[in-house]
Amino acid sequence: MEKKQLPMFVFLLMLIVTTSFKFLPKEVVRNDFKKIYDKYNVQGSFVIYNKNKDEYTYYNKEQTIRPFTPASTFKICNTLISLNSKVIDDEDVVIKWDGKQRQNPAWNHDTDMRDAFKNSTVWFYQELARRVGEKRMKAYLEKANYGNHDISGGIDAFWLTGGLRITPQQQIDFLRKLQSDKLPFSKSSMDILRDIMIVDNKQEYIIRAKTGSGKQDGVYIGWYVGYVTTKDNIFYFVNCIQTKEKNDNFNNARIEISNIILDEIGAFK
């Protein structure tokens, strides 16, 4: 009996589907990370991308596609936009303090971008955003595909109390593009950002990261996003924690949880 051949379009469709699945990143779900979040009395989610393994590790994966206010993690993108649009020449240009006393003593003086990024100086980056302006800011967010591109709520507040939202998964995607020079910004802008993002420089590894803290729908949001480069690998990570009752250890929790998990998966070796 003669065998019937598959129509060519069916064969091609099967080939495309098979090939696509073959090249999808691997995924690992670590529900056991819950005990770490419980220790700090917070909810949250964690996502790691291991470059060499082409593998994502998730805790609370469903939440990694939920949009949150980026708060000060937007300083990563704001740095690139400000440098690329030439509203500031480089990381060493000092902007004069306006004399207003603010909650963080580290903010109450003239400062440059390097220290403003390190100290998360809100007024400095608000001034940069005002210099960029709404039209250019919106265009850059769309071009870079950052979060939902929403700048409602004021040019100097949209990432703090306005409409800008980003998911943990989108944060990872943005960091991966940054490290591989695939963002729509000049290489010099990305080089400066990568330099001022360094929070720990050891012989075995370098951590580049940014914290963020905000409030959304009555819930406190805490971010720690970044990546670890070793001699032969890169681990991208995003930690997003939440609580309705913020305690004194909340800000430390976002970093400490991240370091515990990164150490457990071998990112510091």
Q: Are 60 and 44 in contact (CB under 8 A)?
A: yes
Residue 72 appears among annotated catalytic residues: yes
Q: 134 exposed, middle or buried (CB, 10 Å; 0-12, 13-18, 19+)?
A: middle
Q: Is 43 helix (H, G, I), strand (E, B) or coil?
A: strand
In contact, 212 and 77? CB cutoff 8 Å: no
Sign of CA dihedral 145, 197, 26, 36: negative
**Does the CA dihedral 94-127-178-55 come out positive or negative?**
positive
Rounded CA separation 112/121 (Å): 10
- Residue 176 phi/psi, 5° resolution? -65, -40
- The residue assigned the tokens 């305690």 is 247
The catalytically annotated residue of 45, 72, 82, 85 is 72
Element spanning 199, H or E: strand 198-201
CA distance 184 to 63: 28
Quick count: other Cβ atoms within 10 Å of Cβ 163? 16
Which position has the token pair 């006393």? 101
Buried b (16+ CB within 10 A) or exposed e, 210-228: bbbbbeeeeebbbbbbbbb
How far is the C-alpha of 65 from the C-alpha of 147, rounded, in Å? Answer: 11
Active site residues: 72
